[in-house]
Amino acid sequence: MKRTLTGVQPSGKLHIGNYFGSIQPNLELAKTHEAFLFIADLHALTTVRDPDVLRSNVLDVALDFLASGLDPEKTTFYRQSDIPEHTELAWILSNLTPLGMLERAHSFKDKTAKGLEVNTGLFTYPVLMAADILLYEPHFVPVGKDQKQHVEMARDIALKFNHAYGETFRIIPEPMISEETGVVPGTDGQKMSKSYGNTIPIFLEGKALQKIIMSITTDSKGVGEPKEPEKCTVFTLAKLFFSPDEIKDLEGKYRKGGFGYGDAKKWLYEKMEAFFAPYRAKRKELAENPEKLDLILRFGAEKAREIARKKLDEVRRNIGLS
Ligand code: ADP
Ligand code: TRP
């Protein structure tokens, strides 16, 4: 079985763009691969300064993935900071990483272009990411398009290491970019993203969920007028939750007229509420059992650490450390 590994930044409650663009594809992959998934809390330190925020973000991401069906027996699920081998390997790899490579990173260039202050952690972010990956020698690294360059750097660093010290990283990982889902639009029609403030969180329910769905931007066509489903954000979102028959029905109602955007939104709300209901129940149960959650993450860390330890021992031997 081929191995996959990916990291998720703990940046708060996940939204339905994350669900369809990251959680669901990762759960699918775990059916056919030996999957590793970790919460990149060390990477989050490059931007998060508040300890309570960091703690609650890590908790939220762990709960969101587990409640959505991640099976910790099948996917090795852990916190990056529980495995000190990540930071040790990052230091070792930084000595094989040309400065110019990091200067070319989009994430770094974007920040400096905006005149933002960049700390060294953010600058060396791709080296830590290379260590995250290479410790486990996955065949594939499923990531969003924006992370592809970082995985390519991990490949380059692995090759440089092998060249300098002999074959140590035997599998050079490939980025795996999921094109299937497409971009999930937010309430304003742009890509749903935390940074645009247009998200629909997965575990919102009742009035709060209804309010967000009612706020989705549409054109100003009245109830009686025929409407174009392919141009409507409500319709695009409905496709994620409706059965093919229901979508056909909705499409017919749009084209015929006599059916308002408010009606479509109400229907979308009901379907979303029902879609996530079982996950919500599971999330509540887990949130009330912090010891259980901790146990799950520690179980994952133990499995991961055994692999990381072995790889790092080999690296240390090969470079001349004890
Ligand atoms: P955000 O843009 O809200 O900060 P992230 O960049 O943290 O989201 O994304 C984490 C994962 O979720 C990535 O794998 C990304 O591809 C996926 N993702 C995020 N937003 C969307 C979206 N609107 N549609 C599809 N996938 C998305
Ligand atoms: N940088 C990734 C992101 O922001 C998260 C991440 C950290 C990661 N380490 C990784 C992803 C290793 C894949 C492999 O989404």
For residue 182, report the phi and psi dihedrals to the nearest 5 degrees. Answer: 75, 180
Of 73, 98, 164, 89, residue with least CA distance to 129: 89
By most ligand atoms within 8 Å of CB, the mutation choice from 22, 38, 187 for ligand 1 is 22
pLDDT at 117 over 90: no
- Beta-strand pair 140-143/174-177: parallel
Q: How many CA atoms lie within 13 A of 73 on its CB side?
A: 0
Q: Which helix (H) or strand (E) holds 141?
A: strand 140-143
Ligand 1 atom nearest 8 alpha carbon: 10
Query: Does the annotation mark 194 as catalytic?
Result: yes
Gap between the Cα atoms of 189 and 49, Å rounded: 31
Phi-psi category of 156—alpha, beta or left, where left has phi over 0 and alpha has psi -120 to 50? alpha
Question: Considering the chain, what percentage of its residues have pLDDT values greater than 90?
Answer: 90
Query: Does the annotation mark 310 as catalytic?
Result: no
Ranges 73-82, 105-114, 246-255, 289-298: which has the least confidence? 105-114
Ligand 2 atom nearest 150 alpha carbon: 1
pLDDT at 83 over 70: yes
Question: Considering the chain, what percentage of its residues have pLDDT values greater than 70?
Answer: 99
* pTM for this model (two decimals): 0.93
Of 93, 160, 156, residue with least CA distance to 125: 93
Query: Does the annotation mark 191 as catalytic?
Result: yes
- Residues 268 and 238 sit within 8 Å (Cβ to Cβ): yes
Residues 9-31, buried b or exposed e (16+ Cβ, 10 A)?
A: bbbbbbbbbbbbbbbbbbbebbe
State the distance from the centre of ligand 2 to the C-alpha of 38, rounded, in angstroms.
9
Nearest CA to ligand 2 atom 13: 6
Higher-pLDDT residue of 194, 216: 216
For residue 195, report the phi and psi dihedrals to the nearest 5 degrees. Answer: -75, -10
Gap between the Cα atoms of 319 and 155, Å rounded: 19
For the beta sheet containing 140-143, the strands, ordered from the edge strand earlier in sequence to the opposite edge, are 76-79, 34-39, 3-8, 140-143, 174-177
pLDDT at 251 over 90: yes
Confidence grade of residue 263 (pLDDT, cut at 50, 70, 90)? very high
